[in-house]
């Protein structure tokens, strides 16, 4: 089994995330892809993300009707700072024969040696790099390995969407109507 793991804040989830998921499934033949929202990113210690309940709701709305995708709330349930290695160890335990792929933004590749228990992480998963439009690819630092996704790079970010919401500009075409409605209903990012 080929299992994709897509961690992040998803604050909010947007069409760029969904296009990346689709590209990873198509290009690498993933059997399933799990979206794993972080409780708190170790690289964003001062951030104040939307409430976990709202981020989970938006993910579930965005993934509704997609049989190859699922939401895994384990990092939120665990609480505190979310470390990738803890999540990877859980998947290794539950799916010992699976080939695990971790989706990572190109801007994080150079920082991989700084991640918690980097040596074990490097030997536990293969990385699929999400390119940033217009930016060059970054080589993997040893001992990390992975491959670059080719399809669907979209120059949209969650921070841009939060700024648009704060400015009272529409986001439906960036998030999908259901997620945009959840943002409005929960008074997020104002």
Report pLDDT for 168. 97
Lowest mean pLDDT among 7-21, 90-104, 114-128, 138-152: 138-152
Residue matched to tokens 């210690």: 45
Side by side, which strands form the sheet with 32-37?
69-71, 32-37, 2-8, 99-105, 126-130, 146-148
Task: Give the mean pLDDT of 103-107.
Answer: 92
Beta bridge partners of 78: none
Q: CA gyration radius for the chain? A: 16
Establish how many alpha carbons lie within 13 A of residue 109's alpha carbon, considering only the half-sphere containing its beta carbon. Answer: 24
- Report the predicted TM-score, pTM, of the whole model to 2 decimal places: 0.94
How do residues 109-165 score in pLDDT, each as one tens digit?
999 999 999 999 999 999 999 988 778 888 999 999 999 999 877 788 999 999 999
Q: What local confidence, expressed as pLDDT, does residue 133 receive? A: 79
Banded model confidence at residue 46, pLDDT cuts 50, 70, 90: confident
Q: What is the pLDDT of residue 33?
A: 98
| DSSP-based three-state secondary structure for 130 | strand
Structural contact between residues 86 and 39, judged by C-beta atoms closer than 8 angstroms: no
Which pair of tokens denotes residue 74? 């384990």
> Which DSSP category does 154 fall into?
-
Q: Which fold has domain 2-153?
A: Rossmann fold (3.40.50)
Report pLDDT for 39.
Answer: 94
């Amino acid at each position: 089994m080929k299992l994709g793991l897509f961690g992040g804040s998803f604050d909010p989830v947007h069409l760029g995330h969904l296009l990346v998921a689709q590209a990873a499934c198509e290009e690498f033949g993933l059997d399933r892809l799990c979206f794993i929202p972080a409780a708190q990113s170790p690289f964003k210690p001062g951030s104040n993300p939307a409430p976990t309940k709202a981020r989970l709701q938006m993910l579930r709305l965005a993934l509704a009707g997609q049989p190859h995708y699922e939401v895994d709330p384990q990092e939120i349930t665990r609480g505190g700072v979310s470390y990738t290695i803890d999540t990877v160890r859980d998947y290794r335990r539950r799916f010992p024969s699976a080939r695990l792929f971790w989706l990572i933004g190109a801007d994080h590749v150079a920082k991989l040696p700084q991640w918690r228990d980097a040596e074990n992480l490097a030997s536990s998963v293969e990385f699929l790099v999400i390119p940033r439009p217009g930016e060059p690819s970054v080589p993997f630092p040893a001992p990390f390995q992975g491959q670059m996704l080719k399809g669907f790079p979209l120059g949209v970010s969650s921070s841009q969407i939060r700024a648009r919401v704060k400015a009272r500009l529409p986001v439906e075409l960036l998030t999908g109507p259901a997620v945009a409605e959840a943002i409005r209903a929960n008074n997020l990012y104002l």
